[in-house]
């Protein structure tokens, strides 16, 4: 992370570069996809809008030269999570056309929570990285750099996460087994 931080204060935010404009536009598309995923009354359409949102985030990673993270994002979220979602929707025969029960009484609470989360995140991130500057001409997120920082500085969290995943895996097996015995 040390290579990332240059003083951003001496660089203005006026006269944006092409990358910055693209970043903003892709960000808008991502936001639009996310909003539609939440508001759509058609279940499968909501899942497909989620593809747009998740894919948009991958493009944002790419624009920040974090190639490795971008492809992992596509592989895990678009390739597996959304396919799993769609599989579940097809298994429960999601109807074509709007589902009347695809609406929640909690929508205003959800909106408030979403806005509060967004406000907190935006404030904190802007405050923390206001003066940071990423030099995009030098690749910052190649596999080598990510691997180096992951296995040198972040080994402990990495191992803790893998333990967590292992626990989830074992839990899934235990849950699915118990059902069989009851029958």
Give contact residues for other proteins (rule: CB under 8 A). Answer: 42, 44-45, 48, 51, 67-68, 71-72, 74-75, 78-80, 82-84, 86-87, 89-91, 93-94, 96-97, 139, 142-143
**90 in Cβ contact with 43 (< 8 Å):** no
State the nearest-atom distance from the C-beta of 109 to other proteins, in Å: 31
Nearer to other proteins, 29 or 94 (CB): 94
Residue 69 phi/psi, 5-degree rounding, is -60, -40
**131 in Cβ contact with 7 (< 8 Å):** yes
Nearer to other proteins, 26 or 61 (CB): 61
- For residues 121 and 81, give the distance between their C-alpha atoms in angstroms, rounded to a whole number: 24
Nearer to other proteins, 8 or 29 (CB): 29
State the nearest-atom distance from the C-beta of 87 to other proteins, in Å: 4
Degrees to nearest 5, angle at CA 57 with 113 and 165: 75
């Amino acid at each position: 992370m040390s290579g990332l931080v240059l003083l951003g204060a001496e660089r203005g935010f006026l006269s944006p570069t092409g990358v910055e404009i693209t970043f903003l536009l892709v960000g808008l598309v991502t936001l639009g996809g996310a909003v539609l995923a939440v508001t759509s009354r058609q279940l499968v359409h909501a899942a497909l809008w989620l593809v747009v949102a998740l894919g948009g985030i991958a493009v944002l990673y790419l624009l920040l030269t974090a190639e490795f993270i971008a492809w992992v994002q596509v592989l895990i979220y678009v390739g597996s999570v959304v396919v799993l979602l769609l599989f579940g929707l097809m298994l429960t025969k999601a109807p074509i056309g709007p589902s009347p029960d695809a609406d929640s009484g909690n929508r205003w609470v959800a909106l408030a929570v979403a806005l509060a989360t967004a406000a907190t995140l935006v404030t904190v991130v802007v405050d923390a990285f206001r003066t940071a500057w990423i030099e995009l001409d030098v690749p910052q997120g190649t596999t080598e750099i990510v691997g180096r920082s992951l296995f040198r500085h972040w080994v402990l969290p990495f191992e803790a996460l893998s333990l967590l995943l292992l626990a989830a895996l074992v839990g899934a097996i235990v849950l699915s087994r118990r059902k069989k015995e009851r029958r």
